[in-house]
Amino acid sequence: MKRFLAAALMTLAFLLSACNMVAPTQNGEEGMAMDGESGMDMSGGSMAADAIEAQATENGLFIVSAVSQLDPVVINETHSWVIHIETADENPVISADISIEGGMPAHNHGFPTAPRVTENLGDGDYLLEGMRFNMGGVWVLTLEISSGGQTDSVTFEFELK
């Protein structure tokens, strides 16, 4: 039994390590701005990417992506992101209301700040100000998007190492 557990555990470890290796490539194929390897200099609370891969909202109404204005994203610096929203058929959503939630589910706390969308930049881009991370680990960012009488939400999950 012990051996079986160990084997199962190690298979899991293998899968995890594999995920870690291929993730940047996948993002690259999506044409997102990516940093190279985060490298030693950026350890201690930074995100390997400055962009978050496009993701569909829960009910498929919108496609949402995000690019940080702070590159690389590091802990303990308040900064802005640009959120880009398109419809499922890839037309920019030009007048959305966006509300923000998020934090670290594993730590049972939210963002240390109260980020909010402060400006509609046009062409489906929105300025999200007041983003801040205060520790390394897995963070989530949930955007509730309302446009044209319809509401849908999307949750991004990412890790700062």
Partner 1 sequence: MLALVALAIIAALIAGGLGVAGPIDAAFRDLMGLPERANGRGLFTGALSAHSWTEAERGLIASLSIDRLPPLPPDPSNAFGDDPAAVALGQALFFDSGLSPDGSVSCATCHQPERYFTDGKRLANVRGADTPRHTPTIVGIAYSDWFYWDGRKDSQWAQALAPQEAPVEHGGSRTAHARYVLGAYRSQYEALFGTAPDVSDENRFPAHAAPMDDEAARAAWDGMTASDRQTINRVFANIGKSIAAYSRRIMPGRSRFDDYAAAALVNDQARMAELFTEEEAAGLRLFFGDGQCTDCHNGPQLTNGTFHNIGLPLPEGSNFDQGRSLGTLQVVDDIFNCLGDYSDADEEECVELRFIKLEGEELVGAFKVPGLRNVAETAPYMHNGIFPDLDAVIRHYNHAPPAFPGHSDLVPLAFSEEQSAALIAFLLTLNAPPNAPPELLQPPQGEE
Task: Give the binding site for partner 1 (CB under 8 A).
Answer: 2-3, 5-7, 9-14, 16-17, 20-21, 39-45, 75-76, 78, 107-116, 129-130, 132, 134-137, 161
Q: List the beta bridge partners of residue 156.
A: 141
Q: Is 27 helix (H, G, I), strand (E, B) or coil?
A: helix
- Least distance to partner 1 from the beta carbon of 83, Å? 16
CB of 20 to partner 1, least distance (A): 5
Tokens (6 digits) for 35: 């940093």
> Considering only CA atoms, which of 66, 43, 150 is closest in space to residue 115?
66
Report the nearest approach of partner 1 to the CB of residue 109 (Å).
Answer: 4
Task: Kindly state the smallest distance separating residue 77's Cβ from partner 1, in Å.
Answer: 10
Nearer to partner 1, 42 or 54 (CB): 42
Least distance from C-beta 151 to partner 1, angstroms? 21
- How far is residue 77's CA from residue 82's CA, in Å, rounded to a whole number? 16
Q: Closer to partner 1 by CB, 45 or 125: give it.
A: 45
Of how many residues is the chain composed? Answer: 161
C-beta closer to partner 1: residue 47 or 61: 47
Separation CA 97–CA 37 (nearest Å): 35
Q: Select 33 or 135, whichever has its Cβ closest to partner 1.
A: 135
Which residue's entry shows tokens 């992101």? 81
Q: CB-based contacts of 16: which residues, under 8 Å, 6+ apart?
A: none
Which residue lies nearer to partner 1 by CB, 110 or 156? 110
